[in-house]
Amino acid sequence: MKNYIKFVNMRTNNFSIALVIVMLCVSISTMAQGDGARFYWKNLMGTNGVPVIASSMSGNSNPFDPSRFVIPGSTFEATMTMAGYAKMLPLFKRSAMVSVIMPMGRLSSDVSLNGLDYSMTARGFGDPMLMLTVNLIGAKPQMNIPDAIRYQPKFSLDVLASLAVPIGEYDSSVPINLGQNRWYGRIGTPIVWQIGPWVPGKRTTLEFLPAVWLFSDNTDYVGKTMQTEPMFQLEGHLTRDFMERLWGSLDVISYSGGKATIDGVEGNQLSNVGVGGTLGYHINDNMQLNLSYSSTVDDNNTTDLKMDSFRVTLIYGWHSLIEGMNRLSGK
């Protein structure tokens, strides 16, 4: 019995419970870097996870605003921390995940808008975000240990829906806030394509995420009404294991659309590309550390989005079945 448990642990630990929980980073701040590589890998149903995410961002757009509203000549510096919870569960006989995450932090900015200059610092909480992701095409849910041992993603396609609740810190007398005073959310279809063998230390994937962000009106944006057209996001990742516990990724993301109109005065549409990289390390069976950096590359014009971002993510994941097996094996 102990030999069987040891064998199962060797196989399942390399899948890493924490891997699937990293998708919790889908939130407001991910717009600077995208959702990231390996965010939509699957794991045992019943897996739980808690991430802690720290980001440092700078540019000409409020990092707490997912519409990426560019204010030419402005400067932003933000430090953001996020914490949340996610759980894997079966839904309609498919893999699914529900999650919630709360952003908080500090935002400093110098902004010129409508002939007025603003220099401000905001602290506190942003808008919490809820998300549901359901697999449509791909392997069946991993309901037990044998399912996890046999699992290979091959080609998988999910559908995701997220919604931010507008209860974050907001001051209508200034144009820059942590909360956005409006409902917004996203619909997307994450894709994971396995390339080559599914063996820890050799796994390679090609991943895509086409998505559209939708925004309601902010009826009190410095006494005016702000309307934002849908914004389209497309990101891609080429990921590769370097060792059993260490992996890396090349990341690309593009934004288009999202034109903002303030009391009939139209702004500019986005048409920008960002590139970056990610390193991930499995500290142990329950914890993973990710380091990511990204920067926009086509940002020479004053109306272009300019954003640099560095993010550290620590994820703790657990499953009652795996924890029980570890106790039986003496870990």
More confidently predicted of 329 and 221: 221
Instruction: Find, among 289, 299, 275, the residue nearest to 33 by Cα.
Output: 275
Instruction: Find, among 114, 196, 127, the residue nearest to 162 by Cα.
Output: 127
Instruction: Find, among 161, 32, 25, the residue nearest to 103 by Cα.
Output: 25
Q: What is the pLDDT of residue 10?
A: 46
How is residue 218 written in tokens? Answer: 């902010």
Q: Which CATH superfamily is domain 2-328 in?
A: Autotransporter beta-domain (2.40.128.130)
Q: What is the pLDDT of residue 203?
A: 94
pLDDT tens sequence across 129-138: 999 999 999 9
Residue that the structure tokens 């086509």 belong to:
298
Average pLDDT of 40-55? 88
Instruction: Find, among 255, 299, 283, 251, the residue nearest to 35 by Cα.
Output: 251
How is residue 45 written in tokens? Answer: 């149903």
Q: What is the pLDDT of residue 322?
A: 73
Average pLDDT of 41-68? 89
Q: What is the pLDDT of residue 18?
A: 41
Q: What is the pLDDT of residue 207?
A: 95
Q: What is the pLDDT of residue 246?
A: 94
Q: What is the pLDDT of residue 42?
A: 84
- Which residues in 135-160 are b (16+ Cβ under 10 Å) and which e? beebbebbeebeebeebebeebebbb
pLDDT tens sequence across 158-201: 999 999 999 999 999 888 899 999 999 999 999 999 999 998 89
Instruction: Kindly report which listed range (82-86, 119-123, 239-243) carries the lowest average pLDDT score.
Output: 119-123
Q: What is the pLDDT of residue 241?
A: 95
Instruction: Kindly report which listed range (31-35, 95-99, 165-169, 327-331) carries the lowest average pLDDT score.
Output: 31-35
Supply the angle between the helices 320-328 and 2-15 in degrees, to the nearest 10.
140
Band (32; pLDDT cuts 50, 70, 90):
very low
How is residue 161 written in tokens? Answer: 């829906």
Q: What is the pLDDT of residue 110?
A: 86
Residues 6+ apart with CB under 8 A from 206: 193, 195, 236, 237, 238, 239
Amino acid identity of 253? I
How large is the greatest C-alpha to C-alpha distance in the chain, in angstroms? Answer: 75
